[in-house]
Structures are given as C-alpha cells and as structure tokens.
Structure 1
Amino acid sequence: MTPPPRTDGWRLAALGAIATVTAVVSSLGAPLVPSIARAYGVGLGTAQWALTATLVAGAVTTPVIGRWASGRLRRPVLIGGLVVVLLGTVLSALPVGVAALVAGRALQGVGLALVPLALAVARDLWTGPRLASRLSWLSVATVAGAGLGYPVTAFVAEHLGIAGAYWFGAALVAFTLLLAVLFVPSSPDGEPQPVDLVGAALLSSGTVTVLIAISRGETWGWAAPLTVGLTGGGLLLVSAWVGWSALRVRRGRQPLVDLRLAARPGVVGPNVVAFGLGAGMYGLLTLAVILAQADGSDGFGLGHGVGVAGLLLVPYSLMSVGGSRVALVVARTFGRGALLPIGATVFASAMVLLAFGHDSLWQVLAAMALGGLGSGFSFSSMAFLIVPHVPPSETGSAMAFNQLLRYLGFSVGSAASVALIDVYGGGGAGFRGAALTFAMVCGAVGLLALGGRRRARDV
C-alpha cells in the first residue's frame, strides 16, 4: 500500500537525515585533529586516532550490521545503531580525557554502517524511476553531508571549542534518531542472517594492531621489538581471519565477507583501487588539514584556524559529485574500464600538486578539487564495474568486500599520514615525502586497475 504523500516525504527526509548526519558526525575528526593534540597535550599521531578509530569501526561493523539488519530486524538495528552513535558523540563531548574521546569516536563509526541500511529501506519503499531518483539523492546526500560537515563543525569548534563541536553533533544525531523512530517503517518479515562474530573479532583486532604499530612506529622505533611484534601479530590475526573465512565456506557457513569473490576477473581492479585510493583519500585529507593549521615553525604550514581547515573538503566534495557525472560521459565514450585508471591517475596528480605547491591556500584548494575529481571518477564506478562480473546472488557480498577494503584503506591512510611525515624527517621535507608516497600508491593502483581491465576483457 502506497503511503500518503506527507508520510512518504517524511520517510525520505528520515532516510536523508541518516545518510547526511552520519556523514557529518564521521567528519568530526579530521579538521579537529591538530586542535585535539593541543587541547589534550598529545602528539599528532595520538590525536589522529580521533579519525582512525571511527574508520576502523566503520570497516568492521559494516558487514556485521549488514547481516544483522536483514528482514524484520532492519528497523530495530538501524535505530539501535543511531543510539550507539549518539552515545559515542556524547562521550566524545565530555571532558574526561583523550582516551574517552577516541572511544566515543569509535562508537560513532557505527554510523558509517547505517547508510547501506537506509538504502535498503529505500529499496523496500519505492520502485521504478522513483527508486532510482531517491537512491541517487541519498547517495549525493552522503557526499554532501561530509562536505557540509567539515566547514560547519569546524566553524562550531572554532567558536565553541572541541566539546561544542561534539555537542552539536549529538544534537543532530538526536534529531535524526527522532525522525527514524517516527518515520522509518518496519521491514518485511524475514529471518536475520547469521553473523560471523569470530571473523569480525579477528579482522578488527588484527587491523587495529597493525594500525597502532604504523601510527606509533616513529616514536617507538621502526625496528623496536614492540613495533615489530605488533605488526607481526596483527598480520597473523588478519591471516587467521582469512583462514577462518575459508573454513566457514568449506563448512557451508556464511563468512563475514566471501573472499573468493576478490579474485574474480573484473573484480580485482575495483577492489585494489578501493583500498589504494581509500588510503590516498584520507592521506590527502589529513595532510591538507595539518598543512592548513601548522604555524610554519617546521618549515611548512599556513597558520590558519580550524574553521579554514574545515573548508578544505568543500571543493573536494563538489568535485566528487561533478566527477561522478563526468564519469558517465567518459564511460559512454571510452568504456567503463577506463574510469579507474583515469581516476587513480588524477588522484595521484592531486598528491603531486600538493607535494610541490602548498605555499598558499589556493594551491591546497586546487589539489583538493583535483583529488575530488579523481575520487568521483573512481568511487562512483565501483558498483557497476563489479556487478557484471558476479552472479546476482553474490552481488551483496562482493559489494560488502569492496566497501570493507575502502574503509580499511581510509584507516591506513589516516594512520599512515602523520607517521610518514615523521619517517621523512618532519617539516616541509616530511610533508613532501608523505604526499609523494601517497601519489606513488595511487599511481600504482591505477596501473594495476589497467592490467585488471585487460585481463577481464580477455576472459
């Protein structure tokens, strides 16, 4: 039965708020990192976990919540997820130390897993051209939310402090929770899918362990027993996750994500680019924010406040949306397989531009805009590049794995960016070295995507 127009509009508003506000809340990390470091008296590497913790939590909870929230449990899981995000935002706002702030930011990462649920609710509610239009609107709302979140929350933080920014986020989440309770409908009957909790524990613990070693390696020493031990232990845990997933498949049980899909021709390229450009994206974002707020005492920095730093994502977001539109034209002219190599090359060019041109704010904005164009080309094309190469029954699993790699890439880029500046000696030389390293990573995944395109064509 079709809902009345007024109810229909409120349902769309509720789903739009979920997509937008979770993006806004996830953006409460990067522009505030230098401010958190100063306010709590910690290094940039420690403060960077205010962003990294959110991304790691999003990476691990996305496939878990996606399975929990199937059938009749979709609405309660979505509402419960918003409650967790609200609690995390309030915890980050309380003046109880940087550890509590990072823990709150990890809870906020659950919000990243709620956007696919909002899209799933939309698929239940609408069909045909209306569904296509509203899915497109919700996807744009996610990008716009991140783009809006950076300048707005940075403006609030500049005038009300770090706590004020998180209280502002808590108010937005509370309003979104109210809309969800009132207007998100119950889902059709259906049993929830089993969740591989062991796999989730292995993946999350392994990922966090490796990222801690990356972020603290310069302080402890890259050859120190603790750094080497954590790196090796984390890799062993991730390897154990791979083995455990294979064992579940052999026993006919559903793993956290089906890793067999990663090796399919036509799927390898999007997966490699998702991880590599995910790392590059948050590398670019973090480096630009650090540059904007650095005072120039180390040979680089523009000396702006958190408000200006928050504006840096605006050209990135706008060009991401514009790039996704241009990508459609390029795909019709040169074929879809050209999008990933082009997107990765453009993104690598943005990192090179930032490495050698960062003495003025307009140069940073230009690099962010160019990075947004590359991001729009790449991330907007993932779904329709993967779908033709997997059976319909495996589409959800294939996309979940791609999303997982994207979030893991975000996490690595966030943790590695500050560490790379230190590795290359700090100051201007360290900044340039870090930017060029990310440029090489993006260029390499572009070449791999080009090779994967050719192999897929030959199959």
Structure 2
Amino acid sequence: MASAVIGSLGAPLITAVAEAYGVSLAASQWTLTIALLAGSVATPVLGRLGSGSRRRTVVLTVLGVEVVGSLLTVIPLPFALLLLGRAAQGSGLGLVVLMMAVARDHLDEQRAARTIALLSVASTAGIGIGYPLSGILTDQFGVRAAYGLGLVVTVAALVAAVFMLPHAPTRPPTTTRPDGPTPASTSTRSDVRGAPASTSTRFDVRGVVLLAIALPALLLVIGETRLWQHHAGLAVVILVAALLVLFGWAVLEARTEHPLVDVRLLRHPAVAAANVVMLVGGVGMYLLFSLITRYVQTPTAAGYGFGLSTFEAGLVLVPFSVLGFVAGRLVPGWREWLGARLLLGASTSVVLAAFVLFAVARAQLVLPIVAIGVLGFGVGAFSAAMPAVILAVTPAAETASAMSVNAVVRSVGFSTGSALGGLILAAHTTGTFPTESGFTTAAWIGAAATTGTLLIITLLPLKPR
C-alpha cells in the first residue's frame, strides 16, 4: 500500500506543486519523474541486498528512508528538498519484490501464490485509491496535506515491519542451474560454473553504477515526448547509448562472481519469455490507461471529453483498482487448471477488449469508465499470473532478484506506452488539444500491440519444466 500511495502522489499533484512552490510545470513534473527513476534503480539493488539474511534490516532501513523523505515533502522547505524527499520515497518502490520473497519463505505454497499475486497487483491497482485521495486532499487542504498521506502510510508500514516482519530463514546450500535449484555438496551456494552464488555478503558496486546510468537514461529518453518531437536524432543517440550501457551491464553481470542481478536466470526459456511478454504487454496496458485518463479530463470545449477535475478523474480510476484487485484474488485459483500460457493469453485478451471498447464507443462518460474497469481486470489478471511463470523455475533465494528484473521490465514497458500515447496525440494536435481522431488512432495502435502480445504468448515457451 505504501508503494501504491507514493506512486499516486506524482501525476495528480503536478499542477498544485507548481502553484505552491512557484515553479514551472516542467520543473514540477520532476516530482513524479525523480521518484520513478529512484525506484527503477533501487528495485534491483534492493532485490540483491534483501536476498539473504539481511532482508529485515534492508526493509527497515529503506522504510526509515521513506519516512524521512515523506517528512521532507510535508515540511515547508525549498523545492530542491521536496525533490530530494520524493527521490527518497521512490527508493521504497522496490520493497514490493522483497515482500514477495517474504511470502515465498514464510507461507505455504498455496497462500504464498495468492499473496505474491496480490503484491504484484497492489502497486498498480492501488492507483485508483491514491489518485482520488490525493486529489481531494489537495483541493481541500493543499498539496502538503496530500503528501501527508504518504507520511502516514510510510510510518504505518515501518511500524508494521518493526513488529511483524520475520527474519529471513537460513537456507540449505543449493546449486543454481538453468532449470532450477538442486542440492550442492559444498558449504556455499554456487552457480552453474561453480562460482559462489550472489547471496554472498559482497556487493556488486560496478553493477550498481552502470545500472544507475543506463536505466534512468533509458526511462528518461523514452518518456520525453518533446525530445522525440523536436530532436528525434538526439533522442535516438541517447536511446542507443543507454541500450549499449545496459548491454554492457548485462555482460558484466554474467561474468561477475557476485552479481547485482543473476542474469544467468534469464537463460531459462520460461523466464526470458515472461519478461518479453511483460515488456510488450506493458506498452499496451499503460498506453490505454494514459489515453482514458487524459480523455476524461479534456474540456468539452475541445469537442469531446468531459472536463473532469483531478479528483473526479481519480474516481474514474476506482473501477480499475477494484477489478484489478478482484482479478488478483481470482487468478491464483485458476492457475492450476488453466496453466500459465492460457491465463496470460486470456488476461491479454481482456486488455484487447478494453482497447476495442474505447476505440469504438466513448461518447458517454460511462463508456470510458467501463473500458478502464475492463482494463483493470485484465491488468490485474496479467500481473497476478506473471510471477508464477518466473518463480516456477527460480530458486527461492533468488525470488527478490528475479522479480526485481521483471519489475524493471514492467517500468520500461509502462514508460514506453505512456510516451507512445503522448507522441500519437501530439501528432494529431493542431491547437491546444489533440483531435478526437488521435485517441482513436492511438487506441487501435495499442490494440495492435496487444494483439502482438497475444502472438508472443502463443509462440514463446512460457510453460515451466
């Protein structure tokens, strides 16, 4: 819940922050961007730090950092310190993968599967709770009251962790192979080449530095719609450079004795396929999410839209959250008799249906609301089904690390979907607002991308051995 609330304290508050601090909207946008960038780097780092016996210490430390960051957003301070506070808050977005590891270690198989599915859905579905709450708090009491919500939730999470979070169990030695873990005859875990596994106390500083360069650069260039509009050549250069650094990082991780992320796990066909599906599927999911939220807030003077306020637009997202949560509860029970491929395919088909509905029918407000509700169910089912594919072939000790990679892949997909929507609408803008045909075009392009995701699910080896 803390991750969901912190994530929702970005987009709805951009205008209010600009007014309260006397900065431009472009500067205010960084209150969202810096939290997401901090989370993208922190997620794999926390996945590694929290993979061993230090997990409880790591969780409590990061929650403490989040509380301090939340205080910086609430206390009247210069804008630079607000950004510092938002970065500190964003560092806690990676804690979700550590909670998945806790569930896998301390619950029986069935309850662990349900809990991990809900954790995978929570940060996305929680948007429908955080957006309207932050909107109404801002409208009634000012932007610092909305940030106060983040402080309350992070303090509650810290208190809960202090009193209830268990220590990580002591693991028997295992050997990590491409097809899963097997007992090892030595006293330490080792990988397929005999090197000690990454649960060692050593920390891959070089991997962190390269990742801290590559990931923010990649996410920033993907999300900078104006850069692609006006300086496409420069955008391509930055994108290629970021991808090259990321490739270099992956090569380094594969050759490092104690890597930040054990990329060798990606050699398993099911894990690699699941991350490809997450990347492509994430593009379509967030594209439709951004289209609907922008459409309902467009003033009626543009000839379409409904001119909803931030708070009202937040209420439109409630069906997205509720149905996403429902899907997260239902999917683990369906997994045994449907299987990973059919479950991911069915959830992707639901997302495709939401695209088609929005593309052909949105004249009355109830229609976009229905479309985003259908989207929420599809996203919830998809997010809940994904961990089972990865964890079925991942050693328990690598739960947090493997899921952190998937979380980063999802962030890249979501950022690409948001940027793609912005570029398509910008291409259909002649005045202040894009033409309505721009939304139709974007919806059908998203439907095509989602159809591509279905094809990938059909062809790639998602079924674990």
Give the whole-Å Cα distance in 1 for the aligned partners of 2:399 and 2:265. 9
Secondary structure at 1:253's aligned position in 2? coil
Question: Where does the alignment leave 5 or more consecutive residues of structure 1 unmatched?
Answer: 1-19
- Length, aligned pairs only: 433
Give the whole-Å Cα distance in 2 for the aligned partners of 1:390 and 1:175. 32
Query: Once the two structures are superposed, what CA deviation does each residue of 1:9-43 show, in whole Å capped at 9, x if it has no partner?
Result: xxxxxxxxxxx222222222233346556766745
Give 2:321's aligned residue: 317
Give 1:164's aligned residue: 145
* Correspondence 1:436 to 2:440: no
Pairing 1:94-133 to 2, within 5 Å after superposition: 101-122=82-103
Is the 2:283–2:413 Cα contact (8 Å) retained in structure 1?
A: yes
Is the 1:37–1:47 Cα contact (8 Å) retained in structure 2?
A: yes
Give 1:15's aligned residue: none
Q: 1:293 to 1:307 in 2, by over 3 A?
A: same
Pairing 1:80-95 to 2, within 5 Å after superposition: 80-93=61-74
Is the 1:341–1:449 Cα contact (8 Å) retained in structure 2?
A: yes
Question: Where does the alignment leave 5 or more consecutive residues of structure 2 unmatched?
Answer: 172-198
Which of residues 299, 302, 306 in structure 2 aligns to 1:302?
306
Secondary structure at 2:349's aligned position in 1? helix
Is the 2:202–2:258 Cα contact (8 Å) retained in structure 1?
A: yes
Give the whole-Å Cα distance in 2 for the aligned partners of 1:140 and 1:221. 31
Give 2:344's aligned residue: 340
> Given the two structures, how large is their TM-score scaled by the length of structure 2?
0.79
Which residue identity does 1:150 align to in structure 2? Y
Give the whole-Å Cα distance in 2 for the aligned partners of 1:68 and 1:125. 19
Which residue identity does 2:317 align to in structure 1? L
Give 2:194's aligned residue: none
Give 2:54's aligned residue: 73
Give the whole-Å Cα distance in 2 for the aligned partners of 1:36 and 1:292. 22
Deviation of the 1:61 alpha carbon: 1.0
Give 2:242's aligned residue: 237
Pairing 1:141-160 to 2, within 5 Å after superposition: 145-160=126-141
* Correspondence 1:357 to 2:361: yes
> Given the two structures, how large is their TM-score scaled by the length of structure 1?
0.80
Is the 1:289–1:309 Cα contact (8 Å) retained in structure 2?
A: yes
Q: 1:400 to 1:31 in 2, by over 3 A?
A: same
Deviation of the 1:396 alpha carbon: 5.2
Deviation of the 1:375 alpha carbon: 1.2
Give 2:386's aligned residue: 382
Which residue identity does 1:151 align to in structure 2? P
Which residue identity does 1:284 align to in structure 2? L
Deviation of the 1:330 alpha carbon: 5.6
Give the whole-Å Cα distance in 1 for the aligned partners of 2:263 and 2:437. 39
Give the whole-Å Cα distance in 2 for the aligned partners of 1:129 and 1:180. 23
Query: Once the two structures are superposed, what CA deviation does each residue of 1:180-236 show, in whole Å capped at 9, x if it has no partner?
Result: 334445555797643333333333433333443344443x56463xx5335423432
Give 1:3's aligned residue: none
Between the aligned residues of both structures, percent identity stands at 33
* Correspondence 1:411 to 2:419: no
Q: 1:85 to 1:427 in 2, by over 3 A?
A: farther
Select between 151-160 and 204-213 the one with higher mean Cα deviation.
204-213
Which of residues 284, 292, 308 in structure 2 aligns to 1:288?
292
Is the 1:354–1:435 Cα contact (8 Å) retained in structure 2?
A: yes
Secondary structure at 1:381's aligned position in 2? helix
Give 2:39's aligned residue: 58
Secondary structure at 1:380's aligned position in 2? helix
Deviation of the 1:326 alpha carbon: 4.9
Deviation of the 1:382 alpha carbon: 1.2
Select between 28-37 and 164-173 the one with higher mean Cα deviation.
28-37
Give the whole-Å Cα distance in 2 for the aligned partners of 1:33 and 1:166. 12
Deviation of the 1:65 alpha carbon: 1.0
Give the whole-Å Cα distance in 1 for the aligned partners of 2:372 and 2:448. 17
Give the whole-Å Cα distance in 2 for the aligned partners of 1:151 and 1:306. 7
Select between 93-102 and 411-420 the one with higher mean Cα deviation.
93-102
The two structures, once aligned, show a CA RMSD in angstroms of 3.5
Pairing 1:25-44 to 2, within 5 Å after superposition: 25-33=6-14, 35=16, 42=24
Give 1:177's aligned residue: 158
